Structure formats: structure tokens, C-alpha cells
Amino acid sequence: MPLDLSAWTLLLSAAFAAGVLNAIAGGGSFLTFPALVYTGVPPIEANASSAVAVSPGYLGSTLGFRAELATLPRATLWREGLVCAMGGVLGALLLLWTPAQVFSALVPWLLLFATAVFAAGPWLLARLRARRGDHGEAQGGDPASTAAPRLLGLAAVAVYGGYFNGGLGILLMALYALVGESQLNRANALKNLNSLLLSLLSVVAFAWAGAVQWPQALGMAVAATLGGFAGAHVARRLPAPVLRAVVITTGLVMAVLFFARGR
């Protein structure tokens, strides 16, 4: 059904703000997904369309870490990329196979989980690095020696990311810290690349199933990309704790609203 000016204003504003948040602290899907639902898009289609809207940001982040990616063995990039691509597709298919009523009931819990992961992210990553006795860049293990637990953990996170994108970046960073990737920039590069791959493949699955509301998704993707550029400037002016507090508050408010909506 055609959207009026107020609906488009809400969607594009939410997408622009999501781009800003993703460029600074993450959590943009806390805005794009509820905005789509509020304007009448069913939850499963809203989740698929939100994934399309925020996915261009992963490309920019990946390109920003080209130097770090160039230092990694090609075998590692292919192996982990393949696992994430397959996991993203599987997560997307699970979403498409989930009855709409069941997914609607899961949404507030997924939002709460993603908010909790985001809120605990810095503490969790610091604890994991401390447990491993991480002393900086010099002691990073060679990711070419990827063990089975690393790939299994990556597959589980990728399935979650294909199903519901919220908190994906923090989960990937926590996983890499847990399995011994001590070089922060290298872990961040892997996180961005693998987020891009699993998102692209999940978007392909959503598109194939006809679950994407393309006018909204493409318009929001443009707004989110512009917001990402603006976020780089905002990051220089606003303290990170303020932005994190905004994301956490938004996640909690949205979860409460979806709980109330489901009654």
C-alpha cells in the first residue's frame, strides 16, 4: 500500500539516524526495524527490509579495514567467509520458515537480547581479553590455525545474524576475543567482512522469497548511507558513552513497546 509523507519521513529519518548510530556505536537496527513495523510492514518483512537498509554500511566498514585484511591468509578469509555466508542464508531461511505469529512474539525478546549484548559489549570484550592475558598487538595468534570451536562459534553467530541482525557486531567481536584473536584491528576487520558476507547472502534469500519491501528498503538504504557519512563527523563531537546510552535506551524502549503491542 502507498505510504504517505509522514510515513516516509519516519522511515527515512529512522534510517538516517541508524546510519549515524552504526558509524559510531552500532545498534541502528533498533530504529529501522520498529519504524518499518510502525508504518504497517509485517514483522518478518520488516526484518528483511531492515537488513537491506543497513547492509551498505558493512561495505564501507570493510573497505576501511583493507590494510588489515591484506595481512590475513587468504585461506582464513575464504574459510570464515564461507561459514558466515552459509550461516547467514540458514538464518534467513529460518526466519522465513518461522510463522509470523511466532516471530512477532519473539521480537521483544530478541530486542532485549540484542540490547543486553550491546550494553555488556565493552565489559565482555575487556573480560575476555583479560582472561587470555592479552598484552597487545604483538601476541596475536595466527588465524590460519583456526580450530573447530572458532568455526562452530562463527557459524552460530552467523545464523543469528541472518535471523535477526541486532547485536551482531558485538557477538562477532566477543567470539574473536574468546577464540584467541588478540589483535583488535584484525578482529574488527574480520567482523566487518563477515558481517558484510552474511548480510548480503541473507538479503539474497529474503529477496528470493519476496520478503523485502523494496521501495522502503532502498529509500532507507540511501538515507542510512548518508547517515553513515554524517556519523563520522558526529563521532568527533559527542562522547561515546552518550551515544551508547542513546542506543541502549532506544533498545529498551522498543522492547517495551513491542511487549505492550503483543498483549
Q: Which helix (H) or strand (E) holds 4?
A: none
The helix/strand/coil state of 147 is coil
243 pLDDT more than 70: yes
263 pLDDT more than 90: no
Q: Which residue range is the domain that position 40 belongs to?
A: 5-261
Distance of alpha carbon 199 from alpha carbon 221, whole angstroms: 13
Q: Which of 9-13, 134-138, 163-167, 200-204 has the lowest mean pLDDT?
A: 134-138
What is the structure's pLDDT at 131?
66
Compute the Cα dihedral for 162, 163, 166, 167 and give only its sign: negative
Residue pLDDT, tens place only, 90-106: 999 999 999 999 999 99
How many distinct structural domains can be found in the chain? 1
Whole-model pTM?
A: 0.81
Name the band, by pLDDT with cuts 50, 70 and 90, for residue 139.
very low
What are the cell numbers at 2? 502507498
Q: Which of 118-132, 154-168, 220-234 has the lowest mean pLDDT?
A: 118-132
